[in-house]
Amino acid sequence: MKARNRKFVSLGLMAGLSFYLVLGSATPAAAMHISEGFLPVQWAVFWWIAALPFFVFGLRSIASITKEHPELKLLLALAGAFAFVLSALKIPSVTGSCSHPTGTGLGAILFGPSVMAVLGALVLLFQAILLAHGGLTTLGANMFSMAIVGPFAAYFIYQLLLRTGKQRVAIFCAAAIANVLTYVMTAIQLALAFPAASGGFMASFLKFAGIFAITQVPLAISEGLLTVLIWNWLHSYGQQELETLKLLKQES
């Protein structure tokens, strides 16, 4: 009973901290992710089309998980809330975008990248509507970089490094590299839409990626460390959920 009480107290503290961080950082935003209306129409449509299949597949995965193991709904909500809070903490960067943690590595490690495609999309949608961060026209592009490329990178890096037996190192690297690759993808998206007059796509990509790197590399390291801390917390207070997840992965 005491362990259960400590678990709920910890969840309450995390929820309170989340609300504080989001509301306390709700200053007017010039941009978040790729901002509304910044991409040309053809590129906005292209990224929507590219992202939608991952979203549909992710919906099927979530439906299967919640049907077979409804007790994991709270953990799913935690993964989504973690991504929402971290990605709402912005630092101005390239015109039409900005730097921020992504928070998608944790959900990808726990549930797989397809689930995080849906959770990340919902995070981006709520931020666009409620916080004016990002936008609806650019939602497809932001989904592809943060909710698809980042989680898939996190999942495969985690699975690769897990073979070394150093789980926390694998978690740190997965979260940090997923963060960086999200912004590599964003730089690619911006370079495709706005190639340099001299040097074309590559010159534009190097410019965008170079500017992002100044803020994104330290943010990625910080996110990796924070993800490890959250994993340690789950090991202390969420053993039952982690065991259910382990069983779910063995079944699949």
Indicate which CATH number applies to the domain containing 54.
1.10.1760.20
Please answer whether residues 169 and 161 qualify as being in contact, where contact means their C-beta atoms are separated by less than 8 angstroms: yes
Domain-located, residue 197? yes
User: Which residues, other chains included, contact 81 with Cβ-Cβ below 8 Å and sequence gap of 6+?
Assistant: 14, 15, 18
The reply to whether 17 falls in a domain is no
Contacts of residue 73, defined as CB under 8 A and 6 or more positions apart, other chains included, come to: 66
In-domain check, residue 138: yes
Alpha helices in 131-238 (DSSP H): 139-142, 150-162, 167-193, 200-237
What is d(CA 202, CA 195) in angstroms, rounded to the nearest whole number? 8
Residue 125 lies in a domain: yes
127 part of a folded domain: yes
**Could you tell me the pTM of the whole model?**
0.82
Range of the domain at 216: 40-246
pLDDT values of the chain reduced to their tens digit, one per residue, 252 residues: 445 555 544 545 454 444 444 444 444 333 447 888 889 999 999 999 999 999 999 999 999 999 988 989 989 999 999 999 888 877 655 554 566 789 999 999 999 999 999 999 999 999 888 887 788 999 999 999 999 999 999 999 999 999 998 999 999 999 999 999 998 999 999 999 999 999 899 999 998 888 888 878 888 999 999 999 999 998 888 778 888 887 777 666
Residue 92 pLDDT: 59
**Is the torsion defined by CA of 159, 160, 161, 162 positive or negative?**
positive
Query: Alpha carbon of 200 to those of 41, 45, 105, 181: distances in Å?
Result: 20, 22, 32, 21
Q: How many structural domains does the chain have?
A: 1
Residue 35 covered by a domain: no
Tokens of 169: 């190192």
Crossing angle of helices 104-111 and 73-87, rounded to 10°: 160
